[in-house]
Structure 1
């Protein structure tokens, strides 16, 4: 199979790799679409994220979808041919975190595109069968792949504990911020304030759930929850300060390892401050939100690329107005529109 491989130092090349064999309990998936995440670009540009260092060849990509083409021992043959969204993680089911249902915090996690584990920028991957989630024919390959960042938004809004009639301030109108806004709207939140410095992203925010769109530094007060999707210290401080007493602050964005926070505000208002690390038990909710039309992931795709143009896709976030880039491992070169993307297996079936 063809795979886009990142080397230490930031060089990328498309190479031939063996097609993996599905082990016991696994499925083999032909990858149809892979969303580009900021962490992928970070590995290319900086060679590391925290303690995870690219010190050997690595296949990036963890926002992925495809079709099951083979199964390992113990998995029913009836799953072959199913279109799936990939939850790109393999926790240790015996860890105490997994047994408590917090498998995203498993210390033995094997996560796609996190060194030394390869990701999905290739034609085939394997994953545990329970982490390959069936999607209906009404869900596009793009949307199925973007269940992964949508799951981050679901995890964040669950932590924020907001719902009908509540208010939330979201810092950052990048992909995760807009995912959070869409999930908040679906949950019944009626005031969704997005703070964003980039004019192009501010212009897009209203399409994805924002009821108020402001520039950083504009006054906001008495919101029920604050979600940071920027990783910027000034945004975190301003967001915490905007919370009502007993409000909740949820840190999602990756920024500095340490920040100076308004401790007096946190103490005197009894603010609940927490983080989000990936997700757990979110895919059924994500698929339900997509199929019901409560969130629109297809509209977030602003760039479509073939495997040979993976490096350009990873730099698409530097293009004004870009929201989400998607790579199609089955194509060599980039495509200009959704009409030019490869047809899903379901669409192929309709044409025959």
Structure 2
């Protein structure tokens, strides 16, 4: 028989009131709807988007106009369920897929629910995120994880899913040769995914020699300091995880004819592209917006040891230290910072 834990009436939450203004406050513990589960949050990864909201109070059209809870890379334990959810799930450790699509639109029905125009995504105004002791999520977006996967790695399934989505778009398979721009967390994770998918060469470029050295230890087979010539590589796919216009311009000529260019990193709203090269070489150019249907693959890659996310964790902070966690990324040696609300 499943025993429902006794829950408090209130919980601690770290909320962003405006740019550079974070405070710890109390809110009621939410009650799950019929198809929802309540998760006691164990770990939350700090993403570049969280830092951007902290620094600027907005990302493009998404503006913080009311208090917002940041954090969308999360894991935890189910402590309560809605009336339509099997109570046996209480006590399950889960990785949270931090989104709620409408499930009825054309994109959702086609399996591309990441493109749902009515998407409610954690930590995107006005939807609160996971820098809190408890969060609600639709029951099928709370993915069970084995005990062999740490709380931190279970939280980082979210950025791992970005790497998986990018490698799917790039059609990475056995024997592929790949170039990745950017040796930050997404670049390194994507390098690991590419190797797990069978890539025999994974080139990575960055302006930071320490980050390149780290990437060589965690997935990449070749490292290139930014500015080095890349045209001779003739890779099957180029994945940009930097968002830097110079990196994109340098990477596209490194792709073989009929190869693929995948834009993942967030940078300028527009940039000049080598249109003649793209046309003459019939390159496929596309973007990646979040992910869809990636959690099972991500959890399997972690469970069988093909991907190591714990190695990326360079700092851990409590819920009362969220501001320090958000600014830790300014340190060039930082890779991935974790917030632990339950500690």
TM-score class normalised by the smaller sequence: over 0.9
User: In 2, distance between residues paired with 1:218 and 1:262?
Assistant: 18
Q: Which residue is equivalent to 1:282?
A: 294
Cα offset, 1:219, TM superposition: 1.7
Post-superposition Cα deviations, 1:81-122, rounded to whole Å, max 9, x if no partner, equal 000000000000111110000000000000000000000000
| Stretch moving more, 275-284 or 304-313 | 304-313
Q: Which residue is equivalent to 1:251?
A: 263
Cα offset, 1:151, TM superposition: 0.2
**SS of residue in 2 equivalent to 1:2:** strand
Post-superposition Cα deviations, 1:320-342, rounded to whole Å, max 9, x if no partner, equal 321100000123xxxxxxxxxxx
Q: Which residue is equivalent to 1:345?
A: none
**SS of residue in 2 equivalent to 1:7:** strand
Aligned to 2:311, which of 284, 299, 312? 299
4+ residue runs of structure 1 moved beyond 2 angstroms?
none
Post-superposition Cα deviations, 1:193-244, rounded to whole Å, max 9, x if no partner, equal 0001012211211111111011112122201000000001111111111100
Cα offset, 1:166, TM superposition: 1.2
Q: Which residue is equivalent to 1:34?
A: 44
1:183 paired with 2:193, answer: yes
1:77 paired with 2:60, answer: no
Post-superposition Cα deviations, 1:56-90, rounded to whole Å, max 9, x if no partner, equal 10000000000000001110000000000000000
The 8 Å contact of residues 19 and 53 in structure 2, kept in 1 or not, is answered as: no
**SS of residue in 1 equivalent to 2:18:** coil
1:3 paired with 2:13, answer: yes
**SS of residue in 2 equivalent to 1:127:** strand
User: In 1, distance between residues paired with 2:26 and 2:103?
Assistant: 33
Cα offset, 1:270, TM superposition: 0.2
User: In 2, distance between residues paired with 1:303 and 1:192?
Assistant: 27
1:57 paired with 2:43, answer: no
Q: Which residue is equivalent to 1:111?
A: 121
1:1-352 → structure 2 map (5 Å cutoff): 1-220=11-230, 221-331=233-343
Post-superposition Cα deviations, 1:14-47, rounded to whole Å, max 9, x if no partner, equal 0001111100100000000000000000000011
Post-superposition Cα deviations, 1:226-282, rounded to whole Å, max 9, x if no partner, equal 000000111111111110000100000000000001001100000000000000000
**SS of residue in 2 equivalent to 1:224:** strand
TM-score, normalised to structure 2, is 0.96
User: In 2, distance between residues paired with 1:275 and 1:24?
Assistant: 35
Q: Aligned residue pairs: how many?
A: 331
The 8 Å contact of residues 50 and 70 in structure 2, kept in 1 or not, is answered as: yes
User: In 2, distance between residues paired with 1:126 and 1:275?
Assistant: 29
Cα offset, 1:50, TM superposition: 1.0
CA RMSD of aligned residues (A): 0.7
Gaps of 5+ in 2: 1-10
Cα offset, 1:9, TM superposition: 3.1
User: In 1, distance between residues paired with 2:105 and 2:255?
Assistant: 36
**SS of residue in 2 equivalent to 1:143:** helix
**SS of residue in 2 equivalent to 1:17:** strand
**SS of residue in 2 equivalent to 1:70:** strand
User: In 2, distance between residues paired with 1:317 and 1:226?
Assistant: 26
Gaps of 5+ in 1: 332-352
**SS of residue in 2 equivalent to 1:170:** strand
